Structure 1
Amino acid sequence: MKTTIYMVRHAESPYDEGNERTRGLTAKGRADVEKITKLLSDEGIDIILSSPYRRAVLSVEGLAQHLNLEIDTFEDLRERHFSSDDVIDLMSNIRNNFYNAEYALPGGESNADCQNRSITVLKTILKEHKGKKIAIGTHGLVMTLMMNHFDSNYGLAFLDQLKKPDIYKMQFEDLELKDVTRLWNE
């Protein structure tokens, strides 16, 4: 029995609005939510889940409203916490972490820690909702790390080419990833 996960990377979000948890979407991001909704509305989605971060929830909110579904949030689907220091070279840190998954800045989380917590949630979702179609509002790095757990081809190069938003359809049989298809077209 196949279970389908639709990974919906959040739409464009302003970096200067609020904090990591409360940042919303730009005007382009809000317009792209309509495209996400249109693209996924006929997929037969049964369940919508999300990171608790506002930009991820907002990116699947139109779909939830269209399908008359609730959005359940999971704290462990949140974006990776990089550091307690607000002034870091984010992209350099992300790149370095792909070569040393255990490395973390002071007060931050490693890629390995982020992957472990998010995969624990994803495996629970796959077991509890076997045979269902599930959309997940997520973040680029978390999505990449979850996909990388099942297939090492989803690494730094994959992360670098992701768009905001982006959508990947993942087909599972039990806990085995069988197929991945990119659905988002700009």
Structure 2
Amino acid sequence: MKKIYVIRHCEAEGQSPEAQLTGVGMEQALALSDFFSNTKIDRMISSPYKRAIDSISPLAKRCNINIEIDRKLAERILSTKNLPDWFEKLRSTFDDLELKFEGGESSEEAMNRIVEVIEEAFRRTNKTTVIVTHGNLMSLLLRYFNKDFGFEEWRRLTNPDVFLLMNDNYKVTFQRVWE
């Protein structure tokens, strides 16, 4: 059975691609490394955002594995315009997966790009892969495999958070494994 651990990055100082982890976020990254201390990992893939890479760097060092960067794991852009009511707009994109705001991508478009990464990882010979991404993208991935995973479940995600996807004879299931 192939396994993919999907990780939401640790606490960061902001939303920009260059945003660094906070002091708490750096401690969380070490805790993630400890969390996986008894797990044999074959491959690591990360969003190009600094907070994602830094979240998994202690584990990569511990496992002596290079972190592959994949732009398809970057955070979803809701809009290039400042949206004062972004929270409600985001909620509406969980109800209408094709809804798209100026300069942004729809939930469906974002979902398709992370699913592409997951499907490619499952096709590889690696047994266990770690993927680091962002909350909105992670929630859309989980929704792809379970239509009941929606806006409220996104709101309950933590920084960091870890879900285990298992592929058993082309049937993908997932469970939250971070406490």
Structure 2-normalised TM-score? Answer: 0.94
* Counterpart in the other structure of 1:85: 81
Q: Spell out, residue by residue over 1:106-150, the C-alpha distance to the aligned partner (whole angstroms, 9 max, x if none).
A: 1111101100111112111111245x1011111111111111111
How many residues get paired?
179
1:57 equivalent in alignment to 2:53: yes
Structure 1 stretches (4+) deviating beyond 4 angstroms?
none
* Structure 2 Cα separation of the partners of residues 70 and 182 of structure 1: 25
Q: Secondary structure at the match of 2:99?
A: coil
Q: Spell out, residue by residue over 1:53-96, the C-alpha distance to the aligned partner (whole angstroms, 9 max, x if none).
A: 11111111110000000000111111101111134433222101
Q: Secondary structure at the match of 2:155?
A: helix
Q: Spell out, residue by residue over 1:27-47, the C-alpha distance to the aligned partner (whole angstroms, 9 max, x if none).
A: 111110010000012111111
* Counterpart in the other structure of 1:159: 154
* Structure 1 Cα separation of the partners of residues 147 and 98 of structure 2: 16
* Structure 2 Cα separation of the partners of residues 129 and 88 of structure 1: 45
List runs of 5+ in structure 1 lacking aligned partners. none
Aligned pairs (5 A) from 1:4-153: 4-15=3-14, 20-129=16-125, 132-153=127-148
List runs of 5+ in structure 2 lacking aligned partners. none
Q: Secondary structure at the match of 1:48?
A: strand
* Counterpart in the other structure of 1:182: 176
| Superposition deviation, residue 174 in structure 1 | 4.7
Structure 1-normalised TM-score? Answer: 0.90
Q: Secondary structure at the match of 1:69?
A: coil
Q: Which amino acid aligns with 1:182?
A: R
